[in-house]
């Protein structure tokens, strides 16, 4: 099935400058991401960057590179510039793979692309995984998603959703997982139809997006259908901090 992968890779990360170029097992991190994406069924894999240092490194391992503006407010805006610059068609499917996930499974890249193709009314496809512990349910850094019985997202939130009224009626009740509640953590890999990307950059940020600080809520606010499926394979955590980098390095060594 025809789809493309775009890997946004910024140099000037606030928390970890130069992150895409850090060395992991003798290669820059973005190369590991690229090699994983090439193992998927994508017909094209593009590294999108605003920095010539990353572009030069990517050309060094024969990747296709698209230089983008440094002023984008989000990765979605950067993705849209790529599809516009390269002349993608409105019904093309593009999978956004983050440049800080050197162990992203090719299987989940294929999964979101296939799911979006199979759901003609959806504009976006993404993934989730079960949450098994109450700490994650209550953690605002763990984004939760609720979908209907067709896999269409109803809402994404940093809050515990659904809220088990009776189980959480007391503070003590919030110390253990409520029975019978299927909590799902959102996994941030997306497949998009190009038309959605072109619409997205024209939409103003939605009030609910600003409240939750969740970009996908802008699409839902404007009526876009987001398909959610449980991941066929759980992606290992990416690299947000130097501590994460050391953890990933140990995984490669072992």
Tokens of 252: 């490669």
Residue 236: what pLDDT? Answer: 77
Tens digit of pLDDT for each residue in 176-191? 999 999 999 999 899 9
Mean pLDDT of 219-242: 89
Tens digit of pLDDT for each residue in 25-65? 889 989 999 999 999 999 999 999 999 999 999 999 999 99
Tokens of 2: 């025809």
Residue 111: what pLDDT? Answer: 98
CB 33 within 8 A of CB 7: yes
- Residue 226's domain spans which residues? 107-234
Q: Which of 104, 134, 153 is the last residue of a domain?
A: 104
Q: Is 127 inside any structural domain?
A: yes
Q: Does one domain contain both 99 and 117?
A: no
Q: Which of 55, 43, 31 is nearest to 2 (CA)?
A: 43
Give 7's pLDDT tier (boundaries 50, 70, 90): very high
CB 20 within 8 A of CB 30: yes
Residue 1: what pLDDT? Answer: 60
Tens digit of pLDDT for each residue in 199-216? 999 999 999 999 999 999
Q: Does one domain contain both 145 and 55?
A: no
Q: Is 207 inside any structural domain?
A: yes
Tens digit of pLDDT for each residue in 139-164? 999 999 999 999 999 999 999 999 99
Tens digit of pLDDT for each residue in 55-113? 999 999 999 999 998 888 888 889 999 999 999 999 999 999 988 888 899 999 999 99
Distances (CA, A) of 77 to 152, 198, 199: 24, 9, 11
Q: Is 248 inside any structural domain?
A: no
Mean pLDDT of 115-138: 96
Q: Which of 51, 86, 104 is the last residue of a domain?
A: 104
* Number of compact structural domains in the chain: 2
- H or E element: which one contains 169? none
Q: Does one domain contain both 129 and 196?
A: yes
Please indicate, yes or no, whether the overall pTM of this predicted structure exceeds 0.85.
yes
Q: Does one domain contain both 98 and 166?
A: no
Q: Is 242 inside any structural domain?
A: no
Mean pLDDT of 6-18: 79
Mean pLDDT of 235-243: 76
Say how far apart CA 253 and CA 250 lie, in whole Å.
Answer: 5
């Amino acid at each position: 099935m025809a789809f493309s992968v775009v890997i946004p890779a910024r140099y000037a990360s606030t928390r970890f400058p130069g992150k895409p170029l850090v060395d992991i097992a003798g290669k820059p991190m973005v190369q590991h991401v690229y090699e994983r994406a090439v193992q998927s069924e994508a017909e094209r894999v593009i590294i999108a960057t605003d920095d010539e240092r990353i572009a030069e490194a990517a050309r060094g391992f024969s990747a296709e590179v698209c230089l983008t503006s440094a002023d984008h407010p989000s990765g979605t805006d950067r993705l849209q510039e790529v599809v516009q610059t390269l002349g993608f068609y409105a019904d093309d499917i593009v999978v956004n793979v983050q440049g800080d996930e050197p162990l992203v499974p090719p299987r989940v890249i294929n999964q979101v692309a296939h799911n979006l193709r199979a759901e003609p009314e959806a504009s976006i496809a993404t993934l989730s995984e079960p949450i098994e512990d109450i700490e994650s349910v209550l953690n605002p850094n763990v984004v939760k998603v609720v979908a209907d019985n067709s896999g269409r997202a109803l809402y994404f939130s940093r809050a515990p959703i659904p809220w088990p009224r009776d189980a959480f009626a007391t503070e003590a009740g919030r110390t253990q997982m409520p029975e019978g509640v299927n909590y799902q953590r959102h996994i941030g890999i997306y497949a998009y139809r190009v038309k959605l990307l072109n619409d997205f950059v024209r939409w103003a940020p939605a009030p609910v997006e600003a409240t939750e600080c969740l970009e996908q809520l802008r699409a839902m606010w404007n009526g876009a259908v987001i398909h959610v499926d449980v991941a066929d394979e759980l992606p290992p955590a990416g690299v947000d901090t130097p501590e994460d980098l050391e953890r990933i390095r140990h995984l490669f060594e072992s």
